[in-house]
């Protein structure tokens, strides 16, 4: 369900990418079973020394280090068969403890590949004899949104909403294949210059925390165990219902991703986290903080404030549904 311009958006059917029981507009259980089966039964990575793969076509430029961390490094690279593509190689060391044959993160990336223009494209994934992982992806030449904001760049709300639409489309694609991202935040929205128009486009990246949200055995959406409430001060754009004071319970990852989406774009436009992480004593306090920060933001029109209120509702049962996000009149007016 890819939308390329405003006319297509106006005529787009109200399809629902995430599963909803008894709703003919959502993907069927059979469709999700097939997609999830393909992901689950695939191999995470190919062997570098296997003769019929593409590994030897990649030239890793180890002198051009783009990132260096404890568990991985990112290098510039080139592929002779992709002369028009600017690529990176993310090399995960063995201490990253990524299983090259069964890691869900890698399986999801391999399945997505380059199927969605709104997700950072994955070209190939390999592993060597030491179980080091080589992840070849497209380069987001403008970095991530968090870096972009920290550089002091102001983002016009109209520009932010165009990026939001791109990320919504990425989530739309993920929902149709049974995947929830589980870590939508500014750091994981990558920016790239469109080579044709020169405009800056946004793509969803970093699937390290992504999950398969569909349980083929039960034919239902999985729930995720809540984290201790004490960890809410490290929320990283996670929904309030992701945390529990009694060390129990579970939450719906689809609705939680909707909150993360809203929190991310509120941060981009208002330059504020939706609530004060250190004053978050309970859900009512969080709700009060969210309302205060949205209502007091001078960067938002009244219609935008309503949109964010719907996205950031602390009650997942009252939160706006994913498919209704782009049907909001203000959102549509900004895109068009």
303 with 223, same domain: the answer is yes
Report if residue 315 sits inside a domain.
yes
* Measured CA distances, 153 to 145, 191, 293 (Å): 10, 13, 21
Of the residues 138, 159, 187, which one is the last residue of a structural domain?
138
- Per-residue pLDDT tens over the stretch 271-313: 999 999 999 999 999 999 999 999 999 999 999 999 999 999 9
Domain final position from 118, 138, 158: 138
Q: Are residues 149 and 297 in the same domain?
A: yes
Q: How confident is the model at residue 5 (pLDDT cuts 50, 70, 90)?
A: very low
Q: In this structure, how many other beta carbons lie within 10 angstroms of the beta carbon of residue 307?
A: 25
Mean pLDDT of the 213-219 span: 93
125-181 pLDDT, tens per residue? 999 999 999 999 999 999 999 999 999 888 999 999 999 999 999 999 999 999 999
Token digits of residue 184: 């939508």
Residues 228 and 293 in one domain: yes
Question: What pLDDT is stored for residue 28 in this prediction?
Answer: 84
Question: Would you say residue 286 lies in a domain?
Answer: yes
* Residues 302, 306: Cα–Cα separation, whole Å: 6
* Residue 61 phi, psi dihedral angles, 5° rounding: -90, 85
Residues 256, 124 share a domain:
no
Q: Check whether residue 225 and residue 91 sit in a common domain.
A: no
Please give the C-alpha separations between residue 129 and each of 61, 69, 136, 286, in angstroms, as whole numbers.
21, 22, 18, 49
Report the predicted TM-score, pTM, of the whole model to 2 decimal places. Answer: 0.91
* DSSP code, position 129: T
Q: What percent of the chain has pLDDT over 90?
A: 82
Q: What's the confidence (pLDDT) of residue 4?
A: 32
**Domain identity same for 225 and 316:** yes
The beta-carbon contacts of 75-79 under 8 Å, at least 24 apart in sequence, are 76/139, 77/136, 79/54, 79/123, 79/136
User: b vs e for 245-271, b when ≥16 Cβ sit within 10 Å of the residue's Cβ?
Assistant: eeeeeebbbbbbbbbbbbbbbbbbbbe
Structure token pair of residue 277: 């992480």
Q: What is the rounded average pLDDT of the residues 64-89?
A: 93
Angstrom distance (rounded) from CA 31 to CA 227: 31
Say whether pLDDT at 17 is over 90.
Answer: no
CATH (domain of 242): 1.10.510.10
Residue 18 lies in a domain: no
Cα-Cα-Cα-Cα torsion 283, 286, 287, 290, nearest 10 degrees, comes to: -160
Cα-only R_g, the chain: 20
Total structural domains within the chain: 2
Q: Of 123, 138, 153, which closes a domain?
A: 138
Question: Do 152 and 67 reside in the same domain of the chain?
Answer: no
Domain region containing 217:
145-335
Asked, for residue 114, whether it belongs to a domain, the answer is: yes
**CA separation, residue 28 to residues 19, 79, 105, 107 (Å):** 7, 39, 24, 22
Instruction: Please provide the average confidence, as pLDDT, over all residues in the chain.
Output: 91
Q: Which of 149, 106, 98 is nearest to 124 (CA)?
A: 106
Rounded CA-CA distance 167/309 in Å is: 19
The tokens of 242 are what? 């992701």
Q: Tell whether 124 and 155 lie within a shared domain.
A: no
How many residues does the structure list for the chain?
336
What is the C-alpha separation between 268 and 285, in angstroms, rounded? 23
Residue 64: give its domain's CATH number: 3.30.200.20
Q: Provide the 8-state DSSP code for 240.
A: G
Residues 264 and 300 in one domain: yes
């Amino acid at each position: 369900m890819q939308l390329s311009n405003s006319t297509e958006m106006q005529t787009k059917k109200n399809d629902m990418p995430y599963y909803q029981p008894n709703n003919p507009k959502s993907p069927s259980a059979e469709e999700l079973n097939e997609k999830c089966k393909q992901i689950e039964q695939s191999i995470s990575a190919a062997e570098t020394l296997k003769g019929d793969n593409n590994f030897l076509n990649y030239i890793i430029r180890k002198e051009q280090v783009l990132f260096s961390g404890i568990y991985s490094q990112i290098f510039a690279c080139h592929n002779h068969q992709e002369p028009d593509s600017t690529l990176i190689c993310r090399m995960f060391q063995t201490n990253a403890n990524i299983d090259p044959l069964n890691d869900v993160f890698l399986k999801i990336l391999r399945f997505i590949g380059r199927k969605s223009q709104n997700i950072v494209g994955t070209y190939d994934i390999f592993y060597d004899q030491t179980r080091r992982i080589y992840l070849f992806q497209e380069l987001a030449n403008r970095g991530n949104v968090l870096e972009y904001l920290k550089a002091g760049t102001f983002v016009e709300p109209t520009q932010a909403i165009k990026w939001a639409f791109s990320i919504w489309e990425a989530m739309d694609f993920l929902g149709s294949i049974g995947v929830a991202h589980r870590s939508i935040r500014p750091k994981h929205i990558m920016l790239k210059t469109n080579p044709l128009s020169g405009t800056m486009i946004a793509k969803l990246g970093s699937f390290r925390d992504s999950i398969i949200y569909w349980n083929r055995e039960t034919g239902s959406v999985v729930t995720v165990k809540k984290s201790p409430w004490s960890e809410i001060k490290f929320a990283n754009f996670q929904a309030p219902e992701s945390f529990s004071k009694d060390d129990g319970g579970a939450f719906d990852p689809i609705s939680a991703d909707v909150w993360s989406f809203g929190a991310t774009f509120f941060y981009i436009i208002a330059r504020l986290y939706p609530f004060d992480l250190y004053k978050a004593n309970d859900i009512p306090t969080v709700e009060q903080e969210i309302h205060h920060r949205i209502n007091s933001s001078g960067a938002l029109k009244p219609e935008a404030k309503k949109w964010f209120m719907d996205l950031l509702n602390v009650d997942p049962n009252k939160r706006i549904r994913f498919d209704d996000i782009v049907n909001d009149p203000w959102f549509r007016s900004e895109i068009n």
